[in-house]
Copies of this chain bind each other. A is one copy, B any other.
Amino acid sequence: MAAKRSGAGSKQSRRKTPSPPAGPEPGNEPALSLERIVATAVELLDTDGLDGLKMRRLADRLGAGAMSLYWHVGNKEQVFDLALDSVLEYRGPAPIDTSKDWRGDVVHMLKDWRAGMLRHPWSAFLLPRRALGPNILARLELLSRTLSRAGVADADLNVAIWSLWNYVIGATTTRASFELSDEDRAAAQQRLASLSQHYPTIERSRLLLDNDWDGAFSKGLDFLLDGLVPKL
């Protein structure tokens, strides 16, 4: 019974030459690998959504048989985990760790986080329900360090971090769920308009129809930071 290799390493093969083994397709497909699987899964998720990712379809796109994937990953859940983490990498402007503008740094990282997830809307729904991967932990670590440097008391640090986390998660999933194809958009607006009508205050403020999402995110974030760090 093959022990698979779903253990930990997830490294490439130890073959001398990673040259294509000249399969049925004469030198066409570039050989299966964890990296290719994850990258293709992300593509598929982007185009077809969370429900659009099927193991067979993923394998097709890779020019492989469905069961070949299972040599590289343990199961479908793991594909989700890997795809999610791959989308959350942060290449921030953090070479200088002694930046003066801590607030700017925080806002930059959080906006980048949100933007990345909105580029891959499925990730917004995935993040809150899967275990934390390395890339998101790295972001939390950065956030921790920055806030700590900014003078947030240790006793308030966790509350501050979770508050910002909550805000970003909530804002992103909500935005992502309002995202629709252009055809559906009209119908959805229609539905919301007719719903609003039974809720006068909502209707007056056009809560459900306003779509300056980016502006609302920024302003709310400012309010939250005001509350979290009132000293400055």
| Chain A window 190-204, contacts with chain B (Cβ cutoff 8 Å), 1 for yes, 0 for no | 011001001111100
Copies assembled = 2
Q: Which of A21-29, A33-41, A65-73, A158-166 contacts B (4 or more CB under 8 A)?
A: A158-166
Chain B residues whose C-beta falls within 8 Å of the C-beta of A195 in the assembled complex: 132, 137
Q: Is A59 an interface residue (CB 8 A)?
A: no
Chain B residues whose C-beta falls within 8 Å of the C-beta of A10 in the assembled complex: none
| Chain A window 203-227, contacts with chain B (Cβ cutoff 8 Å), 1 for yes, 0 for no | 0011110100000100110111111
Known: A138-B199, A201-B144, A202-B144. A171 touches B166 (CB 8 A): yes
Q: Is A230 an interface residue (CB 8 A)?
A: yes
Chain B residues whose C-beta falls within 8 Å of the C-beta of A174 in the assembled complex: 128, 162, 165-166, 169
Chain B residues whose C-beta falls within 8 Å of the C-beta of A125 in the assembled complex: 125, 128-129
Q: Is A177 an interface residue (CB 8 A)?
A: yes
